[in-house]
Amino acid sequence: MGTMDEVIQEEFNKIKADEVIDVYDVFNDLAFKVVARSLFDLGDIDDLEGKISRLQFITEKAQKMLIKELRIPWMKWYFDREWLSGENSIPYSLDLLKEARDILRNIINNRRSSDKEPSDLLDMLLHSTYEDGTHMEDDQLIDEILVLFIAGHETTANALSFAAQLLAQNPETIVKASKEIGRLDKEDLMTGLMAMPYIKQCVDETLRMYPPAYVTDRVALEADSCEDIEIKKDSIWLISFYEMHRRKDLWEEPEAFNPDRFAPGKAKEYRDFYFPFGAGPRMCVGNNFAVFEMILVIARMLERFEIIPVHKDIDYHPLITLRPRNADLVFKKKSGAMGESRI
């Protein structure tokens, strides 16, 4: 948690106050660096910041190419042409991914040859074993790290961007949340985060209204039925959590931002139709990490800034994830804010 807090404070130090900024850019950098710094010990790798920046660039470029393939699949013949160069080609994206894998492979090899054993996620992955006692091969290890980078930062950045906008548009929620930020203790961050139920409710309500993983798909392994709907074997079904989270027959005033609906004792009322991280064996394994990160970011943000909305409505792109669009806010520094001195 200490590393996470350091990254948050560093990124908030870069914010230009009293200017209109797209907070998605802020939270995208922040969330990526939280994952990277959790994976890799800073002092163990030469030019780690440069490598992280390059990995972030590659990850974002590859995601954009994947989005194009998914949204306009009939153009794959065009994107896949070997002679096509530049950002609009699959060969270009594949070259970038190879570069990312080479960067990670070098980091892994350097760690193996080092006599240091930092307590980061890379060290944990290197020492993890399967049931038969064998370790992951390098390609599998690199795949796991890439998944952590891709899945571990974009959805969190999306959710934080929506949360900041919702809070700014509902100042009464900021008043309530601000009463909890004094409970943070640099020496015991986890205890402080557990003592912030209202900020946690703001996170839960944000994920209800704007779940980053807004849709999922499943294949029917057997024929089945649901009420009057016939489900054929091997058919593919899309499930919209966005729509489920806004159904008027399930939620009272579903279009309103109301964190109190997740107050202690009430959340269990929604467990059958609230799935911000999916459900079952394929539920997001990083859900607790993401929630604690969001609580900490919101607490540090409200500790240091007043946030002012720019637009009346919240806009978004329904891409692979639900990504905010024009998430513009103005940050005003609070007088006597202590954030910079707490690192």
Sheet containing 328-333, strands listed edge to edge, beginning at the edge strand earlier in sequence: 20-22, 328-333, 305-309
HSE value, Cβ hemisphere, 13 Å, CA-based, for 260: 8
- Amino acid identity of residue 257, one-letter, is F
Phi and psi torsions of 240, nearest 5°: -95, 105
Q: Which fold has domain 2-22+174-342?
A: Cytochrome p450 (1.10.630)
- 88 by DSSP, 3-state: which? coil
Task: State the DSSP code for 117.
Answer: -
Full-model pTM: 0.85
What is the spatial distance between Cα 36 and Cα 148, in angstroms, rounded to a whole number? Answer: 9
Which pLDDT tens digits describe the chain residue by residue (343 residues)? 678 888 999 999 999 999 999 999 999 999 988 988 888 876 555 677 788 888 888 888 877 777 666 656 656 555 555 545 566 677 788 888 899 999 999 888 888 888 777 778 888 888 888 888 888 889 999 988 888 877 778 899 999 999 999 999 999 999 999 999 988 877 788 888 999 999 999 999 999 999 999 998 889 999 999 888 899 999 999 889 999 999 999 999 999 999 999 998 888 888 899 999 887 777 776 788 899 999 999 999 999 999 999 999 999 988 888 999 999 999 999 986 655 544 3
